[in-house]
Chains A and B, each alone.
Chain A
Amino acid sequence: MNESLPYKWPEEGNSRIPYWVYSDPRVYEREQERVFGGASYSFVALEADIPNPGDFKRTKIGDRPVVVVRDTDGGVNVLVNRCAHRGSRYCYREHGNAKEFTCPYHQWTYDLTGALISVPFRRGVKKQGGMPDDFRLEDHHLEALKCALRGGVVFASFDHTMPAFEDYLGPKMLGYFDRVFDGRELSILGYSRQRMRANWKLMFENLKDPYHASLLHVFLVSFGLFRADNPSQVQMDEKTGMHSVQVSRRGEQKASEGTREMRQFDQGLRLHNPEMLQPVPEFPGDATVVMQTIWPNLIVQQQSNTLAMRQIQTLGPEVFELHWTFFGYADDDDGMTMRRLRQANLMGPAGFVSIDDSEVMEAAQFGLGKYPDAEAVVEMGGRGVEDQDHMVTESSIRAFYDHYRNVMGF
């Protein structure tokens, strides 16, 4: 996969993004190798997805299928969904409970750690065939990933030399992460999935660009949920800029200097069910929105009281899926659960807000996909990659590509 690519990053550096990164299959292959398959922790599950011993779920890291399973001792294992024999997918169900995994093809059977425990016809049939005498079960373990658990969230890496997850995030990003995953038991409210005809990086860019929200999202802007004139921050991790957060506070539904240029702003818009947007403060501090992007596949969403993990899975250079897990806490009362479900109308495939994003990401792909030699201009808020105390900036997009270029060798 180390073939050289016929591309050179624009001389301007991080303030330009060449469009070949969104469509070239060779770039995509290198991303599978280095971004998703390399030195990174990918989100794979919430522990609440698999509460009991033997509970499992299938997922993907980039486009590589894995199985996340709760072990008999309470630990979590992440195993590649590829039989050690001839490579068949052995786990057929999306989720469930198993005592062991048996590949249906030749019934090689593994325990929940991925250790091979039996192979039929190992000694042959009627003294014919069978495995060689030196065949050892312990030589044929399912490929297991390095796992990291924090606050009820499961991450995994193909790279077994990874540092601790806490060092990977860095103190600033860890603080935002722990704000939501504070040790309380989580409870799953449900799953949603979307398939988008766009490159996966456009999803990250969408979350790392808070300034589009004030212009694109009439709903957010008109109801003051997220707006360029609300007090906000954009912050990156200390080391690389690969992780970031956008933080904001709810404003009012009134015109201001900022709204003059928000052509879609509608001060007269009213909801028939305003309770949908009445949040209850539940986290320390005054931020009402914290959107955290964790390299390479996760967005942690806290918009008012709606909490969700958004996991990116890739299907090719121009297609990705967004897998949403909406959750609350096990100690939520019925009122809070209902509030979270109500506010979930903002997000997901039918979200009052996220519909715009999904449609616009596809429009971006349709626009840039066939012009690999053209490039994006990313100069809002300057050309640097520093933290900002406002949202009229694209600095965390630049920081993301700074890291991306290092990883990809561009």
Chain B
Amino acid sequence: MTDDPRLLRYEVEELFFAYVECLDEGEVERWPDFFTDDCLYKIISRENFERGLPLGAMLCEGKGGLKDRVVSVTTTSVYHDRALRHLLSNIRVKGVANGVIDVQANYAVLETLTNEFTTVFNAGKYLDKLVREGDGLKFKEKLCVFDSVMVPTSLIFPI
């Protein structure tokens, strides 16, 4: 673990940027590689999160859960074509303890359906726990808390 906060910040940002690039470039098969084997991934509305209600729109337990979601996106689900683009801001290292790095960041996902204008599909914050694995950082926990309870049509791809 680096003691230099600037270096850590650089590493964290690199991970986040690579993560959203993977999703934006349509390489969802590589998405589980950003996580530890025992990870927890959850997309939850701000309403449920703030009321202490556990229901997420998407819940993946461990890398297996992520891979099942990938199968759904690439094989079983039926949906209209779209382009997605993540905008990240305010990536902040909130604390480091026992090898776990707490990171918070804002995100907005832009969605462009065929023959439609680009819209803000989903916006919220990541509340993540990162750990060092091998020579890089991975997500041990990724919580996407989205602001609007209302989802336009479907939430198909991970955020």
Enumerate chain A residues within 8 angstroms of B47, measured Cβ to Cβ: 94, 191
Interface residue A190 (Cβ < 8 Å from any Cβ of B): yes
**How far, in angstroms, from A217 to B76 measured CA to CA in the complex?**
7
Interface residue B2 (Cβ < 8 Å from any Cβ of A): no
Contact A362 B153 (CB under 8 A): yes
Q: Count A-side interface residues using an 8 Å CB cutoff.
A: 42
Q: How far in angstroms is the closest Cβ of chain B from A213?
A: 12
If A190-B48, A193-B149 touch, whether A271 touches B61 (CB-CB below 8 Å) is: no
Contact B48 A193 (CB under 8 A): no
Contact B76 A271 (CB under 8 A): no
If A191-B48, A271-B68, A272-B67 touch, whether A359 touches B59 (CB-CB below 8 Å) is: no
Q: Which of A194, A216, A219, A222 contacts B154 (CB 8 A)?
A: A194
Contact B78 A348 (CB under 8 A): no
Enumerate chain B residues within 8 angstroms of A191, measured Cβ to Cβ: 45, 47-48, 53, 55, 149
Contact B79 A355 (CB under 8 A): yes
**How far, in angstroms, from A266 to B43 measured CA to CA in the complex?**
28
Contact A359 B78 (CB under 8 A): yes
If A337-B54, A359-B153 touch, whether A192 touches B59 (CB-CB below 8 Å) is: no
Binding site for B on A (CB under 8 A): 94, 188-197, 216-219, 222, 264, 266, 269, 271-273, 276, 321, 326, 337, 341-342, 344-345, 348-350, 352, 354-356, 358-360, 362-363
Contact B67 A349 (CB under 8 A): no
**How far, in angstroms, from A360 to B77 measured CA to CA in the complex?**
11
Enumerate chain A residues within 8 angstroms of B80, measured Cβ to Cβ: 359, 362-363
Enumerate chain B residues within 8 angstroms of A348, measured Cβ to Cβ: 57
Q: 20 A–B contact pairs at CB < 8 A?
A: A192-B55, A192-B151, A194-B152, A216-B78, A219-B72, A266-B76, A269-B71, A272-B67, A272-B71, A273-B61, A276-B65, A276-B68, A337-B54, A341-B59, A344-B59, A352-B76, A355-B79, A355-B154, A358-B154, A359-B153
Q: Which of A94, A195, A349 contacts B155 (CB 8 A)?
A: A349
Contact A356 B55 (CB under 8 A): no
Contact B75 A193 (CB under 8 A): no
Contact A352 B153 (CB under 8 A): no
Enumerate chain B residues within 8 angstroms of A363, measured Cβ to Cβ: 80
Closest to B155 in A: A350
**How far, in angstroms, from A358 to B150 measured CA to CA in the complex?**
14
Interface residue B26 (Cβ < 8 Å from any Cβ of A): no
Q: How far in angstroms is the closest Cβ of chain A from B144?
A: 11
Q: Which of B68, B77, B151 contacts A349 (CB 8 A)?
A: B151
